[in-house]
Amino acid sequence: MPDATTEAQAQALPAERAERPTQGEKPLVRLEDVKVHFPIRRGLFARGVVKAVDGVSLQLARGETVALVGESGSGKTTLGRASLRLIEPTAGRVLFDGRDITHVPEARLKWFRRRAQAVFQDPYSSLNGTMTIEQIVEEPLIIHGVGTREERRARVLEALEAVRLRPPEEFLKKFPHQLSGGQRQRAAIARALVLDPEYVVADEPVSMVDASSRAEILLVLKERQEAAGTAILYITHDIATARHFAHRVGVMYLGHLVELGPSERVIENPLHPYTQALIAAVPEPDPTNRLRERPVIPGEPPSPAHTPKGCPFHPRCPKAMKGTCDVEGRTPQLKEHEPGHWVACYLY
């Protein structure tokens, strides 16, 4: 049975209006009221539940980048994995190109695996160290039975060129440990892109590479998107890169999407107190050219196993209203405050 939150959310987010794609076409990826709950077990018995994602609706159009931002534990990585069906949602639906894949067994998802790919945070563990770069990038083509050996070699070279591992021939026989962190992540991106996917989840793709490689890696992804119309879900804790890289930004807190809208609107005119605090905490250059740290958000996010009653942000919110924001069973729902700009907060 749906809980009160779900029912209220369904009212606040009618399916046909929930996070419309920016491109005016039918969405490629559609998440409908997705929940991912993990039971906490001690021995044989369940001792509670972690609500990693708790009723999120979101959709991406072809050629659109949506950035998901939020602190650790906000549920953004879990939501990204659910959208790729690397995790089966507890409730809600995941649709890809109009097909419901929420509970389809893995053996029947090969068509989807070819069309949707992931780039993970850690280029050190995501590449098999015993394989050459050529073998790593070619492997998805072999798994999906694409091309002859010569055709696969040509596609590998093309993918390496596209991620600026140049000249590509020089990288074919190298092993991951012979590459820098930035080069390794670009090899991981080449592997993800070699199948020409329509949807890519890029989960903190630049957080473990040196600063000089970050802009180039994001540029590679952006070029790819513009050339091939790929939809990208860009998961990051870095709201500053989200502004430049994404068409829309979604802000997550404790498993909830609390704000969603065009990147410039969300960053220049943040509505939710949590988004305002996230942006205020971004370091910015001062006139002496040193990075100046702004104040961080007070307190730690509560555990998703013990979500506060009422608005999940209320214990940390400087604008919390007693008797409104802390009432059990009343979670603020996303509402469209201005065209395309949604916020879940009782201030609006």
How many residues line the site for ligand SF4 (CB under 6 A)? 14
Contacting ligand SF4 within 321-340 (CB under 6 A)? 321, 325, 332
Least distance from ligand SF4 to the Cβ atom of residue 253, Å: 9
Query: Whole-number minimum distance, CB 259 to ligand SF4, in Å?
Result: 10
Helix axes 133-143, 149-162, angle to 10 degrees: 120
- The window from 64-72, 199-207, 284-292, 317-325 that contacts ligand SF4 (CB under 6 A) reads 317-325
Residue from 320, 327, 330, 340 binding ligand SF4 (CB under 6 A): 320
The one segment of 42-50, 95-103, 187-195, 314-322 that binds ligand SF4 by CB under 6 A: 314-322
Which CB, 94 or 311, lies closer to ligand SF4? Answer: 311
Taking CB under 6 A as the criterion, which residues in 242-301 touch ligand SF4? 272-273
Identify whether the C-beta of residue 134 lies closer than 8 Å to the C-beta of residue 214.
no
CA distances from 111 to 43, 101, 108, 198 (A): 38, 11, 8, 12
Smallest gap from Cβ 338 to ligand SF4, in A, equals 17
Q: How far is the CB of 314 from ligand SF4 (least distance, A)?
A: 4
Query: Should residue 345 be labelled a site residue for ligand SF4 when binding is judged by CB under 6 A?
Result: yes
Among 292, 309, 319, 335, binds ligand SF4 (CB under 6 A): 319
Q: How far apart are CA 120 and CA 209, in angstroms?
A: 12
- Contacts of 16-22 spanning 24+ positions with Cβ under 8 A: 17/336, 18/57, 18/58, 18/59, 18/334, 19/57, 19/58, 19/59, 19/250, 19/260, 19/342, 20/59, 20/340, 21/59, 21/60, 21/61, 21/64, 22/61, 22/64, 22/247, 22/248, 22/262, 22/340
Do 218 and 225 touch, CB atoms closer than 8 A?
no
Binding site for ligand SF4 (CB under 6 A): 272-273, 311, 313-314, 317, 319-321, 325, 332, 345-347
